[in-house]
Structure 1
């Protein structure tokens, strides 16, 4: 499906890629008289060029900044199309992960037509918070701690009360914390709730409001409870996932992520620190097994 651009309020747009499944992420486009700020890019050359066209359709001014909410390639691989004119910004740990992993995401979906992609790493990083004056707006970049990844950055527009939380928040798709933390993401969702956002552009899926924070927290609390029961019963994460009743969460896209989430939850139940390194390749293989084949990626 083709992406669509939604105006949240004047000067604030969401570039939404239906259906929000694997590698179909959202971006934010902030426009003003001084130029444009872009929040996240896209996974493939084709989709990054569609994003580039939509940005140009909204504003003829220069792209001043590209802010990456985290390191994953679906949010960063398109940086190179904008890096010639824009300054790319990310949390310092996200930048380190981008340097370490490069184009590794492509190896998980070799059948995807990635096109020509170059890794364009951030030129500016920050450790805690950073303020921008771009597109005529006050823009706050906030890092609260490990959540979806170790280097998450949320983009907060305090005057407009619009939040771009990256993959700390999913809409209509299963949350995913294999590379981050179940407990950490729950804490991050509490912190985001205290910002009192009116509009939330999630990392994937339809735009919503504060109810998205509650929906993600409900799922992760269920995962945590399921993991605790599984550990007590001596079940492996994959075995537990196969026997689990998804209930209301069955309607979410990409249900195979439950396996990766349980692997992370089991590690935390065993005392692992949030976002402690795990064998992602092995976990992904178990997700493939649970799914009965490679997860669908329409990028």
Structure 2
């Protein structure tokens, strides 16, 4: 494996809502809680390419385009010396399903486990991994989980409900971390090269993209930044907007038209399937910039920037657009114009 610098820019982060239980009461809740029920999710296996597999809820194929929120996607690559696992899920029930799907393909040991986010549905199963497994995260992800694990657990319980196995999760530290604007490459053999890419904040500062280059075509695990295809819109509730817009475009422009894309919470798609996210943030940026130039307040901007052309049936549209996406765009754009 090797690590190479992609960019030299340094960023300092503040992670605004997972650090204090005082903020939980102020956090706007969606109409439906839990957003999806971990006690009811069944995971299915998809062979994408030779030795490359994705794992997603069995409901994802039919429900993604209906606008229904889906549980976390995952996957794994089988290499010469073992398995690279992508995500460890929210709880033991889902981790066990993921583990059994791996075992249905290979008895090789899980050498690596990669988390694409510090949100619990991507990493709370880490404590169930074999002791010898090497856990990989981006650097901010490792630091934030180390400092705020209990707070993040409470936040996940708030969104996904008690009695879903979240309470049992125990912090397990990452063994390898990838700093901002760096990438790590792992050669799994048989022509499958895994690139773990930290471009900075694309949804949260903890984002990590998994890009698998193979002999035939490439596969991107897009994580939370590209949460699903239309009608889903981005979950920009981590307090950032302008940097995510830049980094979403950076990843989008990196992948090819024929690449396979595994969104963080939706059915398997391709580059065209995630363009809806790019179109949404591009329009949101233009509309909010116009509102700020006109001197509108945040509340006036929320009334003006409704973006009904993107409200195509996603059940979380109003919760995300008006409570998080517009306010964070307004905050960043107004500060940038000073």
TM-score bracket, normalised by the shorter chain, equals 0.7 to 0.9
Q: Do the aligned partners of 2:280 and 2:310 also contact (CA within 8 Å) in 1?
A: no
SS at match of 1:271: helix
User: Within 5 A, what are the aligned runs for 1:77-156?
Assistant: 77-102=124-149, 103-109=153-159, 111-115=161-165, 116-127=168-179, 128-134=182-188, 136=190, 137-156=192-211
Q: Could you report, residue by residue, the CA deviation over 1:254-273 in whole angstroms, capped at 9, with x for unpaired residues?
A: 21111211121111022269
Of 176, 186, 211, the residue aligned with 2:245 is: 186
Equivalence for 1:270: 334
> How far apart in 1 are the matches of 2:122 and 2:76?
13
Equivalence for 2:46: 6
Shift of 1:22: 5.7
> How far apart in 2 are the matches of 1:249 and 1:25?
23
More deviation, 61-70/91-100: 91-100
Of 103, 106, 120, the residue aligned with 1:59 is: 106
> How far apart in 2 are the matches of 1:135 and 1:104?
40
SS at match of 1:252: coil
SS at match of 1:250: coil
Of 147, 168, 171, the residue aligned with 2:225 is: 168
Pair 1:25-2:83 in alignment? no
Equivalence for 1:295: none
> How far apart in 1 are the matches of 2:213 and 2:132?
26
Q: Do the aligned partners of 1:29 and 1:55 also contact (CA within 8 Å) in 2?
A: yes
Segments of structure 2 that go 5 or more residues without pairing to the other structure are 1-40
For the structure 1 residues 140 and 40, does the alpha-carbon distance in structure 2 shift closer, same or farther, using more than 3 Å as the test? same
> How far apart in 2 are the matches of 1:272 and 1:205?
33
Pair 1:177-2:236 in alignment? yes
Q: Which runs of 4+ in 1 moved over 4 A?
A: 19-23
Shift of 1:233: 6.0
Equivalence for 1:250: 312
For the structure 1 residues 237 and 125, does the alpha-carbon distance in structure 2 shift closer, same or farther, using more than 3 Å as the test? farther
SS at match of 2:156: helix
Equivalence for 1:157: 212
> How far apart in 2 are the matches of 1:250 and 1:162?
27
Give me the TM-score of the superposition, normalised by structure 2.
0.73
> How far apart in 2 are the matches of 1:229 and 1:151?
30
Q: Could you report, residue by residue, the CA deviation over 1:39-75 in whole angstroms, capped at 9, with x for unpaired residues?
A: 1121122222211221221211100100111211111
> How far apart in 2 are the matches of 1:236 and 1:246?
18
For the structure 1 residues 44 and 12, does the alpha-carbon distance in structure 2 shift closer, same or farther, using more than 3 Å as the test? same
Of 206, 220, 228, the residue aligned with 2:289 is: 228
Of 38, 59, 62, the residue aligned with 2:85 is: 38
> How far apart in 1 are the matches of 2:116 and 2:275?
20
Q: Could you report, residue by residue, the CA deviation over 1:20-54 in whole angstroms, capped at 9, with x for unpaired residues?
A: 66671111211134211111121122222211221
Q: Could you report, residue by residue, the CA deviation over 1:164-185 in whole angstroms, capped at 9, with x for unpaired residues?
A: 1211212143211221533222
> How far apart in 2 are the matches of 1:59 and 1:241?
54
What's the RMSD between the two structures over aligned residues? 2.6
> How far apart in 1 are the matches of 2:249 and 2:158?
32
Equivalence for 1:217: 278
> How far apart in 1 are the matches of 2:295 and 2:82?
57
Give me the TM-score of the superposition, normalised by structure 1.
0.81
Q: Do the aligned partners of 1:201 and 1:207 also contact (CA within 8 Å) in 2?
A: yes
